């Protein structure tokens, strides 16, 4: 049975109104729960909350200014790029995430994009659904195998490592780009390198899994795209800004690379005006890789456990302080 949080009930603000399971679990553990509408912050709720689960919302300095009692933020998923972590630190607010909760879903989605690009599923589907069935499209859009191809995994965290495991089922050769290569020398079944150029130039498929930090903005730009094979496929399921979209568009239009599978974009939510969506050699999804029932359940339960642990630690420290006062 869940251990109840003693003392004054702590207030947790769930911005996402679809997190019903989280609400029930937190109530069972003795928290007071405020539920938003999933779109905009409720200023009254911000004033009252001790902990915040922002969902996909941004947490800025202005947000924090409206939350005088806030002590803890728990972000569902991996990326913290929508949270001003520095401003939180200055205010003594602890920030946590659930880095492993969506790894399986995102890795599977990565493989799906990889296969869709290699097998030309998008253009072939478009042509057979046209008004006049075009059987010659198979001559124009040549599918290829993943078997024995080289996969460059850029960033080898929880998602990148799962992609590697899945890709081995296709007998792909894997080269992984990491910045701290010494940590990975014992993994003999994967070739590790700290040279990005080496990873990009030798790969048939490049899959991006670096963290969404400022240093990774436009990690893949015109120069990096020029290093790739003309037959290369680029997959991005991390953050849109990791790729310079203008440079990617030019590379795809001019057939400098073969294709791209994209779940994330520099400007989200997507609009019909995004030029990449008009290209037949782009398979696109709307930042949905992590959005599965299984992934959401894992993330929700992890958030509940993390919030519970933080509350218990805070209560214990408070009790110790009282004992010595």
Residue 86: CB atoms within 10 A of its CB come to 9
Question: Exactly one of 62, 197, 268, 294 is catalytic; which is it?
Answer: 268
Peptide bond preceding 13 in cis form (omega within 30 of 0)? no
Is 239 assigned a catalytic role? yes
Are 2 and 29 in contact, with CB atoms under 8 Å apart?
A: yes
Encoding tokens for residue 30? 């003795």
Question: Exactly one of 287, 305, 312, 314 is catalytic; which is it?
Answer: 287
With b meaning 16 or more CB within 10 Å and e meaning fewer, what string describes 149-173? bbbbbbbbbbbbbbbbeebeebebb
DSSP, residue by residue, 219-253: SB-HHHHHHS-TT-EEEE-S-GGGB-HHHHHHHHH
Residue 7: CB atoms within 10 A of its CB come to 11
Are 249 and 243 in contact, with CB atoms under 8 Å apart?
A: no
Question: Exactly one of 239, 245, 298, 300 is catalytic; which is it?
Answer: 239
Residue 215: CB atoms within 10 A of its CB come to 8
Residue 251: CB atoms within 10 A of its CB come to 24
Encoding tokens for residue 172? 């792909």
Encoding tokens for residue 114? 């990889």
Helices marked H in 58-191: 61-65, 85-90, 103-118, 121-128, 137-140, 158-168
Residues designated catalytic: 239, 268, 287
């Amino acid at each position: 049975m869940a251990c109840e949080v003693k003392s004054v009930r702590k207030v947790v603000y769930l911005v996402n109104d679809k997190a019903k399971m989280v609400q029930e679990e937190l109530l069972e553990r003795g928290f007071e729960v405020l539920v938003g509408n999933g779109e905009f912050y409720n200023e009254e709720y911000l004033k009252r909350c001790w902990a915040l689960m922002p969902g996909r919302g941004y947490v800025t300095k202005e947000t924090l200014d409206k939350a005088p009692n806030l002590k803890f933020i728990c972000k569902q998923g991996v990326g913290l790029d929508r949270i001003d972590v520095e401003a939180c630190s200055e205010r003594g607010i602890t920030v946590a995430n659930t880095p492993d909760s969506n790894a399986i879903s995102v890795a599977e989605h990565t493989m799906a994009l990889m296969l869709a690009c290699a097998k030309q599923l998008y253009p072939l589907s478009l042509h057979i659904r046209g008004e006049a069935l075009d059987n010659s499209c198979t001559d124009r859009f040549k599918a290829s195998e993943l078997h024995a191809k080289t996969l460059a995994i850029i960033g080898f965290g929880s998602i990148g490592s799962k992609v590697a495991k899945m890709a081995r089922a296709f007998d792909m050769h894997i080269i992984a780009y990491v910045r701290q290569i010494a940590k990975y020398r014992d993994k003999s079944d994967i070739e590790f390198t700290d040279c990005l150029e080496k990873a990009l130039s030798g790969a048939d498929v490049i899959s991006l899994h670096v963290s969404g930090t400022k240093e990774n903005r436009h990690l893949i730009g015109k120069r990096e795209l020029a290093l790739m094979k003309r037959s290369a496929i680029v997959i991005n399921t991390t953050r849109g800004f990791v790729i310079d979209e203008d440079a990617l568009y030019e590379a795809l239009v001019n057939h400098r690379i073969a294709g791209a599978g994209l779940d994330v974009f520099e400007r989200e939510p997507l609009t019909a005006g995004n030029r990449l969506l008009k290209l037949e050699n782009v398979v696109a999804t709307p930042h949905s890789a992590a959005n599965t029932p299984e992934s959401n359940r894992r993330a929700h339960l992890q958030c509940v456990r993390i919030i519970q642990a933080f509350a218990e630690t805070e209560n214990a420290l408070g009790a110790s302080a009282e004992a010595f006062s």
